[in-house]
Amino acid sequence: MTVTTPHTAYWEGVRDGLPFILVVAPFALLFGVVATEAGLNVWETLAFSVVVIAGAAQFTALQLMQENAPTVIVLASALAVNLRMAMYSASLTPHLGATPVWQRAIAAYMMLDQSYACSILAYERNRDWTAAQKMAFYFGAVTPVVPVWYAMTVAGALIGSSMPTGLALDFAVPITFIAMIAPALRTLAHKAAATASVVLALGFAFVPFNLGLIIAGIGGMMVGAQVELWMDRRART
Amino acid sequence: MTDPIVAKGTLWTVIILLGLGSFALRFAFLGLIGNRPMPDWIMRHLRYTAVAVLPGLVAPLAVWPGATDGVPDLPRLAAALTTLIIGYLTKNVLAAIFSGAGMLYLLLYLLG
């Protein structure tokens, strides 16, 4: 029995999404602690995480608000950090575009780096999946992560500044992203895209509002596409 | 001195507008393009979104960690490389995470 139903795709998504609790939990906890130190109460901290549901953008906004930056600058910077979500949205569209619009709206609300990355990898492995199966997998992948995001934000806000330092939790985020992306470096085009992205991100790190990342993203995609075309031409001759 | 307390009016303006803006970015293509076909050249670029964005997100964090005020740090660089190599060789996300974390704590302990 190898037929994949939306039901089994959902549970496959849950299984693939489980490891990301390890990343999201410390990240959310840290946000709760930092928000409390900035003077937010538990409800304000939870509302921030529920309404915005984007860790990096939340840290950016909080940091700038503490520096008394104008509200327009706070919003522009935090949204620039989130610009990559528009790229993820475009990348998911060929897979999920045929599902009902309410499902796409919920999927958009719950779009996280982790859920995007593990879904797109699953779609590459299972090219025969229908849009409904792909959406079921996506919802499965966010199921373990989103409640943990909310709950650990509250935990962080309650613990506040009594959190022990020296655990090097700052590095939970880089390690999990690298662990996710390393198995995805399948072809020469994928490796070239990733290498270009690293070089461009480091080279353009000085650009304000995190726009260096957008340059790296677009540059990496162009390199990947060009290498793919080159490999296709070479395979045909 | 920066005031650590964020003004409540500003806070709720930021929470609500940032929430709406983030949703708009996430819904932009998924909601508006939906099932309409996209040209080949766009599809060819979109195939590399994940490997083009995430490495760029991580590289500055690994090379100039916030925890060391942006000074390159041997334990964090070694942990990043260990995670990359183990993840590439084993194709196993959890194995990569635990090897990277193990390398980080080992070097922090030895050098700390």
Q: Decide if B88 and A185 are in contact by the 8 Å CB cutoff.
A: yes
Domain ranges within chain A, ordered by starting residue: 6-169, 185-237
The pLDDT, as a whole number, for residue A164 is 61
Q: How many CB atoms lie within 10 A of CB A51?
A: 19
When computed from its CA atoms, the radius of gyration of chain A, rounded to whole angstroms, is: 19
Question: Within a domain: residue B57?
Answer: yes
* Global pTM value: 0.78
The total domain count for chain B is: 1
Q: What is the mean pLDDT of chain B?
A: 88
CB pairs below 8 Å between A and B: how many?
A: 293
In a domain, B1, yes or no: no
* Contact across the interface for A53 and B62, Cβ inside 8 Å: no
Flag whether B3 is in a domain: no
> Which has the higher per-residue pLDDT, B10 or B3?
B10
Stretches where chain A sits below pLDDT 70 are 1-3, 161-169
Sign of CA dihedral A17, A18, A23, A26: positive
Among chain B residues, CA nearest to A219:
B52
Given this model, what pLDDT does residue A219 score? Answer: 95
Specify the pLDDT at position B66: 77
User: What is the tens place of the pLDDT at every residue in B27-40?
Assistant: 999 998 888 888 88
Q: What is the pLDDT of residue A1?
A: 43
The alpha carbon of residue B94 is apart from the nearest alpha carbon of chain A, in Å, by: 7
Instruction: Please tell me the predicted confidence (pLDDT) of residue B5.
Output: 66
Average pLDDT for B35-60:
86
Residue B103 Cα distances to A175, B16, B90, B98, angstroms: 11, 41, 17, 8
- Cβ–Cβ under 8 Å, residues B88 and A230: no
Q: Band the pLDDT of B1: cuts 50, 70, 90.
A: very low
Could you tell me the residue range of the domain that residue B42 belongs to?
8-111
Which of chain B's residues have a Cβ under 8 Å away from the Cβ of A184? 50-51
Interchain contact A188–B (C-beta under 8 A): no
Question: What does the pLDDT read at residue A63?
Answer: 77
Identify the pLDDT of residue B2: 41
Whether B94 is in a domain gets the answer yes
